[in-house]
Amino acid sequence: MTDVAACERLLARLVAANWGDDEAEERHAASRRLLAQEYLRRMATWADALDVPNQWPFLDLAVVFDPSVETDPAWIERLEADSGHQLWMRSRQVVTDMFRWASLGDRPRGRFPEFDDPYEPMVQLFERGGDIWPGHGSIEFYAGSVPYRTISERLTQPPFPIDAATLNEVDEKERISLADSHARMAAKRAEQARRPADS
Amino acid sequence: MSELRGRRSDDPGEGNAPGDDTGRLGDVGSGENEGPGSDDGGTRDRPANRVDNQTLLKHGAADRESPRLLTAREKLEQYLDQIYWPGYSSWSSARQRNEPTDQQPRADVTPTAEKPAHARSEQNGALSSDAPELRAHTFHDDTTARPQRLNAPDDERESSSQPADPPAGVEPRDGDEAPETDWRDEPANAAPSRYHDVVGAKEHERTVDDASTDGSALLDKEDVATGTDSTPEPPAGTGDPAESGHEFVEDATTEEMDQYRRIREADDLDALAENSGMPREVIDEAKQHLFQRQHDVAIGPDDVRHGYFTPDAAYGDLWERVASGIDMTDENRVQFWSLLAHEYVEAKLMEAGVPYKSGDPDAWDEYGSAKVSPDHPSAHNTAPLSTQSEMKDLLRHWDSRLAIPRGGLRVEHDLSNLDEVVRVAKEGLGL
């Protein structure tokens, strides 16, 4: 039983995501890092509960939950056609299972009602700036490199809030910090430029 | 080719019907056909619904002699037999299944990879029979006698709340010194978990921390201060991570680690240069950096680990796909181009003393992510953006994040100006 409505809702969100928007990537770098951290925690929770810790962090969670789940390539095709964006390889891997997970409907929640949606952080990460790519034991994206660490560490990580207000606040905090840093750098370079003349 | 079995959505597969063109070699992006696996320590079962491609080999003797279709697996086996020794793929598959085989490594083989490394170590002791160039690679350690932290400018250091930095920030984590908000220092038993109950003896492959905290995997602070390094890790291909200690910064799946060991030993530079059209010397430097050197890698505040880069099948598959020249896509070419640019510049910056990432707690945000800012320069965050799937400006983070003046400098499509990129980066970092 495929939950087509849930897949359609996911498709609408991903079509509207800021794929390829360099400015959005820059503006949301800090919140995307937070979302990646929360993604790793939630995936650890599910991988642990489903007893597949060795497949973490990029596992086909929906297939583990229900090996008979259907993989319908039409969802990815529609996403790429409607968004005009060709998914990058790691993003494609994650999004493929996102649609499978959505197609399961409420069944995962029925079995693990206390668990958070495993893919919500990654959906928001895409919405706030687009693709991810692989790293050496890390999730990589623009101005972001989030180490996997270990699943046992992720299981001890407290949930991080990922509401819009918190995410925007994190981004604003980094914007101010970065502006200060750039100002210090500019002052330092100006000082260095003056030194030869002084000496 | 059981080495490749069950990796993350990248399995070349077997037994497919002619004409199928899904699940191509190295196609880590699809994942549509990945099954649940059996959680057996990295050698997960092949998904029952796996579909793999089978295409005509367009070039070569097989094509001339027979119209028979070769599977992706067969093509890869041919390639591996070519770069290692005849029969390697069969021998390796049998070994993976723990089956007896008379196809043991032979002595009359190629100079760079005479035998699988674990066979060498079993027969002759660690490194005793490695080819000279491999020995050089194996022992090359970019942390030796090299400064490991790029000091912040004086004015920035004054603004920091941190005391004077230790040489490398590589001491094991100390909960007493950790910020209160650091969730990582919570007791490991804070959240009861099936993981801790179930995994038990089979132990998660990625879990290296227990051993790490005893200091065996980390450089001693005194080692770094004196410019010396820890004892080199065992050579490539010693097999069981438990036997080889901390070969990698962090363990990955068995297949991924074996793939990196395989690439580490492969004589593939000419093939990579020919198939990619990229400069051989750039590929050589990138390969040494990516696969053949050990590094100090900060994975968190004051948490720096030592070893070869943590394997990822996405890199390994891309590398082997370009080396084989089989089924390369335009996306692969762009990925390889940006990967080489990233690794080359990163290597040169680390050679100049820039840390891979800073272990300074101020370089990490409160959620445990490395910040990208001029305050804490790092080779990883300064190098061109890696593994991009479309042609983009690989240095755009210099403008908005690092404030490195570049005067319109971009990475050339033929990678001919990477040394200029390195020069401008160093200048921007104050080196």
Partners of A135 on chain B (C-beta within 8 Å) are 312, 386
Q: Is the pLDDT of residue B77 over 70?
A: no
Closest CA to B415 of B388, B387, B384: B384
pTM, 2 dp: 0.67
Specify whether A93 is located in the same domain as A40. Answer: yes
Specify whether A83 is located in the same domain as A134. Answer: yes
Q: What is the mean pLDDT of chain B?
A: 63
Q: What residues 10-69 of chain A have any CB closer than 8 A to a CB of chain B?
A: 20, 22, 26, 29-30, 33-34, 36-37, 44, 48-49, 51-56, 58-60, 63-64, 67
Specify whether A143 is located in the same domain as A175. Answer: no
**Minimum-distance CB partner of B194 among A51, A131, A146:** A51
d(CA A186, CA A1): 60
Given the structure tokens 């990967």, which residue do they identify? B339
Specify whether A111 is located in the same domain as A68. Answer: yes
Specify whether A112 is located in the same domain as A123. Answer: yes
Q: Is the pLDDT of residue B353 over 50?
A: yes
| E strand segments, B301-402 | 303-307
pLDDT of res. B192: 39
pLDDT of res. A20: 85
Domain of residue A173: give its range. 163-199
Q: Is the pLDDT of residue B42 over 60?
A: no
| E strand segments, B9-116 | 54-55, 70-71
Question: What residue type is assigned to position B314 of the chain?
Answer: A
Specify whether A58 is located in the same domain as A154. Answer: yes
* Secondary structure tally for chain B: helices H, strands E: 18, 4
CA–CA min distance B104, chain A (Å)? 30
Specify whether A81 is located in the same domain as A155. Answer: yes
Read off the pLDDT of each residue in A92-115 and give the average, rounded to a whole number.
Answer: 97
Question: CB under 8 Å to B329, separation ≥6 — which residues?
Answer: none
pLDDT of res. B80: 57
Q: Inter-chain contact A160–B367, Cβ cutoff 8 Å?
A: yes
Q: Is the pLDDT of residue B287 over 80?
A: yes
DSSP A147: E
pLDDT of res. B172: 36
Specify whether A65 is located in the same domain as A32. Answer: yes
DSSP B329: -
d(CA B280, CA B15): 36
Query: What digits encode the pLDDT tens for the residues B145-155?
Result: 344 344 444 44
User: What six digits make up the tokens of B156?
Assistant: 């920035």
Q: Is the pLDDT of residue B202 over 50?
A: no
Partners of A86 on chain B (C-beta within 8 Å) are 331, 389-390
Specify whether A50 is located in the same domain as A147. Answer: yes
* Minimum CA–CA partner of A38 in chain B: B367
pLDDT of res. A197: 58
Interface size A-B, in CB pairs within 8 Å, comes to: 217
Does B403 reach chain A within 8 Å, measured CB to CB? yes
pLDDT of res. B79: 62
Compute the CA torsion angle B59, B64, B70, B73 (nearest 10 deg).
-50
Partners of A186 on chain B (C-beta within 8 Å) are 403
Query: What digits encode the pLDDT tens for the residues B91-148?
Result: 555 544 444 444 443 333 333 333 333 333 333 333 333 333 333 333 456 654 344 3
More confident residue, A196 or B6: A196
pLDDT of res. B120: 30
Read off the pLDDT of each residue in B162-177 and give the average, rounded to a whole number.
Answer: 35
Cβ atoms of B157 and B374 within 8 Å: the answer is: no
SS3 B248: strand
Work out the pLDDT band at B57, boundaries 50, 70, 90.
very low
Partners of B385 on chain A (C-beta within 8 Å) are 142
Specify whether A123 is located in the same domain as A169. Answer: no
Read off the pLDDT of each residue in A161-169 and give the average, rounded to a whole number.
Answer: 97
Specify whether A134 is located in the same domain as A188. Answer: no
Q: Is the pLDDT of residue B14 over 60?
A: no
**Minimum-distance CB partner of A136 among B37, B312, B372:** B312
User: What six digits make up the tokens of A171?
Assistant: 């981004």
CA–CA min distance A168, chain B (Å)? 15
Does A167 reach chain B within 8 Å, measured CB to CB? no
d(CA A125, CA A31): 8
Residue B213 main-chain phi, psi, to 5 deg:
-70, -10
Q: Inter-chain contact B31–A92, Cβ cutoff 8 Å?
A: yes
Question: CB under 8 Å to B315, separation ≥6 — which residues?
Answer: A134, A136, B290, B339, B387
Specify whether A87 is located in the same domain as A118. Answer: yes
More confident residue, A20 or B87: A20
pLDDT of res. B163: 36
**Minimum-distance CB partner of A37 among B309, B369, B374:** B369
Query: What digits encode the pLDDT tens for the residues A62-75?
Result: 999 999 999 999 99
Query: What digits encode the pLDDT tens for the residues B238-285?
Result: 334 334 458 999 989 899 999 999 999 999 999 999 999 999 999 999
d(CA A99, CA B245): 39
Rounded to a whole number of angstroms, the distance between the first and last alpha carbons of chain A is 79
Work out the pLDDT band at B394, boundaries 50, 70, 90.
very high
Compute the CA torsion angle A89, A94, A99, A105 (nearest 10 deg).
180
d(CA B310, CA B256): 9
Work out the pLDDT band at B397, boundaries 50, 70, 90.
very high
Q: Inter-chain contact A33–B184, Cβ cutoff 8 Å?
A: no
> For chain B, what percent of residues have pLDDT higher than 70?
43
Closest CA to A93 of A115, A76, A118: A76
Q: What residues 30-89 of chain B have any CB closer than 8 A to a CB of chain A?
A: 30-37, 39-42, 44, 47-48
Read off the pLDDT of each residue in A110-124 and give the average, rounded to a whole number.
Answer: 97
| DSSP β-ladder status, B295-300 and B303-307 | antiparallel
Q: How many domains does chain A have?
A: 2
pLDDT of res. A9: 98
